[in-house]
Structure 1
Amino acid sequence: MPITVNGNEAELPHDPRVSLLDLLREDLHLFGAKKGCNQGACGACTVLVDGQRVLSCLTLAVQCEGRHVMTVEGLAGDNGLHPLQKAFIEHDGFQCGFCTPGQICSALGMAAEFDRGVPSVITEDFDDDGVALTPEEIRERMSGNLCRCGAHNGIVAAIAEVHAIQGDRTDSREAAA
């Protein structure tokens, strides 16, 4: 069974030792996910697998059989860039741009985790409906994605803006009810 990458079916490599990152970059020529540390420490290779953020350098391609992989290249739609991509530009959430694809994919996965009620280390009481995705929460939840240029303030501002526009956790719960 193949995997789906950005809406397109792709064949799995014959070698079960091939990482998802190497499949994306070497076989599918999707260069958004970067090979930074290749040890899971920098987050530059972050992609979404079935909507959850994963480090593609630590994920075997065969683990994604039958699953949906989304890279930064698959986020833009017919109407242009994804709102988070636009916000990164507007808030100078990048300098060299090396970490940006991983930051964006991680931010989307992180916001979904927050909306599902997954606490972070600094979350005091997630049962309280007033929990907000504050800059401190964003920094903690994004701490696995490193930016060597120092664009963290712009990254945090972009994520906060897009999450606020899309509705906070309380609004999401009320809409689902």
Structure 2
Amino acid sequence: MHSIQKITPFLWFSGRAEEAAEYYVGIFRNSRICQVIRYTEAGQEQHRQPPGSAMTVALKLDGQDFTLLNGGPIFQFTPAISFVVNCESQEEIDYFWERLSAGGAPEARQCGWLADKFGLSWQIVPTALPTMLQDADAEKAGRVMSALMGMKKIDLGELKKAYAGQ
């Protein structure tokens, strides 16, 4: 029996859900489009999508279930919702930053935050960051926070230098 993830992010797109699904599957390893349900003549008029276009696209991104909806231009993404991509190395940070920021918002936000070409916000963050920020030595944690606040794309090497007091 197929187990269903208890909580699944459901993301509203304006006519580009299938394109977005293909884009994300191409970025995240171990990912795939699982199902596409298409609009028919019945029901398509409410969301103003042509019959035959994707209504919902179910996908897995590195094991995480998502559903994308072509719901029309009624709602847009805001930075109030974002997805964190936990990265083990600078190479991984660079990989996700480069791919997710391509064609996105012209100005990246600080602390590893960016908006992709669909307007969806992502945080590209090293897995070592919480440990550094929660260090019992408040001075070390403070140096890391100061360094972090000056970064858009996170530079793990610079955070490690700040942590070490260099």
TM exceeding 0.5: no
More relative contact order in 1 or in 2 (CA 8 Å, sep 6+)? 1
Structure with the larger helix share: 1
Q: Name the larger-Rg structure.
A: 2
Report the TM-score, using the length of structure 1 for normalisation. 0.29
